[in-house]
Structure formats: structure tokens, C-alpha cells
Chains A and B, each alone.
Chain A
Amino acid sequence: GEDVEQSLFLSVREGDSSVINCTYTDSSSTYLYWYKQEPGAGLQLLTYIFSNMDMKQDQRLTVLLNKKDKHLSLRIADTQTGDSAIYFCAENPGNTPLVFGKGTRLSVIA
């Protein structure tokens, strides 16, 4: 079945790096996504990675994909207080709607 697992909480100090981990189950996912949700808002697409890639970097964001272990991670360099939010990992098995993890709540301590 489809299942996306994430740790629920992460707390880091401002300026440090944050690493949010995710495991997924469906190897047929063509893309894997990271979304950010601020309080009371919708989801903002942060980045995505094609399944045949190992890494993707976009400014402060680095996505690592280990397809063998079905493990996805999002690294945020130089974490700022504005990065405090819930981060959702999502997979896209076949042509079906996105399957989301429960979200990781990132708290940045000044």
C-alpha cells in the first residue's frame, strides 16, 4: 500500500542546518515532493525531485533521494525563523493524487 512516514517534530537553532527525513513505500513514484505549510495557509511547493536523480540543490535547499531504501531527505541550510512551518513529504504513485506524510513541524529557535 501507499504510506509516507515522517518524524513529527524537529527543533533547530537559527543558523544551523535542518534535516527532515521521509520514507515512502511506492517505488513507482515518478516524482517526490516537499511542501511547506505555514499556519492557516495552504501548501507551498518547495521543491521536487525526479525519481532517477540522487540529489537536487536549490539555494538553501538540498534534496537527497535514496531510491533503494525509499528514503528522501530535505536539508535546509542556515535555517531562519521564517523557516518555521510544517513540511510535508509527498509521493505520486503512478498517475494518482499525491500521498502525503503526516508532516514534520520545524521549530527554529532564535
Chain B
Amino acid sequence: GAVVSQHPSRVICKSGTSVKIECRSLDFQATTMFWYRQFPKQSLMLMATSNEGSKATYEQGVEKDKFLINHASLTLSTLTVTSAHPEDSSFYICSARRGEGGYTFGSGTRLTVV
């Protein structure tokens, strides 16, 4: 149980285009989901907290107009990287809390902007 599905797993896009990443909780409802970014050989950096039915809370230094988050239902949060640039290339991971037992993570999305 407590599975989080993240899609796509890998995407290559051209500079200036937008990319949408989906994060779904498959067997539980997640009022809150988290979006992380991970640079090579580094830890996870929290980008934003996605709240169902309300605006996301962004961490300091994260551009909310560049990384659009939508949490329209209790099982789906999306992250859209707008006007992507090569420096946005990274590994993006979503997470949802599944009660007191811990946080479940998606399998991640490798974004490459060319």
C-alpha cells in the first residue's frame, strides 16, 4: 500500500518549452504533497509544499512563476516547469505523507533541457 506514482520518469525538452510532471497517490488520499529537486550526488532540496485546494507554499529562492504547482484533487499534484532552460535540468521527486508511518516518494523524473 501507500504507493505514489510519478510520471514521466524521463523527459527531454527544448529550451523555452514547458514540461508537466504528475504525482499521484494511488491507494490513499494526500492533502499535502511535496516537490523536491535533486542535483547529481547531492541531497534532496525541498522546492514547495503542495496543498489540495489551495496555493502551494514555496521555499525561499524557488520561483513560483517558473515552477507552477497545482493540487486539484486529493490524489494528484502536478509540477509544471515553464519556459525551461538547461539549468532546470535535474531530478525532480514528489512525496506524500501516508499517515504517521512515513513519507512515500515517487520514482522521480529526470528532466533534461536541451
Q: Using a CB–CB distance below 8 Å, which chain A residues touch chain B? A: 30-31, 33, 35, 40-45, 48, 88, 97-98, 100-103, 105
B43 touches A42 (CB 8 A): no
B108 touches A40 (CB 8 A): yes
A48 touches B101 (CB 8 A): yes
Residue total for B at the interface (Cβ-Cβ under 8 A): 21
Query: How near does chain A come to B64, taking the closest CB pair, in angstroms?
Result: 17
Q: Give B101's nearest chain A residue, CB to CB.
A: A48
Contact of B93 among A43, A48, A97, A105 (CB under 8 A): A43
A42 touches B106 (CB 8 A): yes
B44 touches A88 (CB 8 A): yes
Q: Give B59's nearest chain A residue, CB to CB.
A: A97
Q: B107 within 8 Å of A by Cβ? A: yes
